[in-house]
Amino acid sequence: MSHGARVIRTGVSSGGPAAPPAATVASSSAGSDAELMDGAYFRSCAGMLKVAQMITLLIGFISVNNSSWTDYSAYSFFQIVTMCDLVMILFFYITHIFRIYRKLSCVSWPLAEFLHYLIGTILLLIASIVAAARSYNLTGLVAGATFGFLATILCVISMWSSYKVSCITQSTSKYR
């Protein structure tokens, strides 16, 4: 839904030069809103970091899922945490790409993403520690735990950058 052209009042009298047609003004102001996807987010640092997190979580899940293991509780927990984290990161990635955060302004998206990373990182760290402790030197389980730790580090980086951007810049800009 486009808000249309906005009227800017100036000191020019009504007998001044003719204004451009309304269709031209509406199309030029709505051009950035009419794009379906945010192409710049693909190449941004936050976008590439989310893709790296999804890839490492998927590799960790697949390596644990395809290896032979006997401790069902530890590795089932690891699989559940990695898949839930992957789905939530994919959700936030889609939210940024399709600019859903602009349409749903009732949600504090930076806070929601920060809380997701906080809870998901803690659970992923616990699951990776348990998976590493119960791996019994099986290569698939060790690889899964390693990718779990790598995804944990990437989530900490995302959480730190999310906190830095949303909270620190707001507190410093208040005093300017």
Output the pLDDT for position 33. Answer: 56
Could you give the angle at the alpha carbon of 158 between the alpha carbons of 152 and 164, nearest 5°?
A: 135
The DSSP code for 118 is H
Output the pLDDT for position 136. Answer: 86
Output the pLDDT for position 1. Answer: 47
Residue 158 to residue 98: CA distance in whole angstroms: 20
- What is the dihedral sign for C-alpha 15, 17, 18, 19? negative
Output the pLDDT for position 46. Answer: 92
Output the pLDDT for position 34. Answer: 57
Output the pLDDT for position 131. Answer: 92
> What residues of the chain score a pLDDT lower than 50?
1-2, 7-17, 19, 21-31
CB neighbour list of residue 67: distance below 8 Å, 6 or more residues apart: 138, 139, 140, 141, 144
CB neighbour list of residue 91: distance below 8 Å, 6 or more residues apart: none
Q: What is the pLDDT of residues 56-103, one digit of tens each?
A: 999 999 999 998 877 788 899 999 999 999 999 999 999 999 999 889
- How far is residue 23 from each of residues 78, 103, 119, measured CA to CA in Å? 55, 24, 48
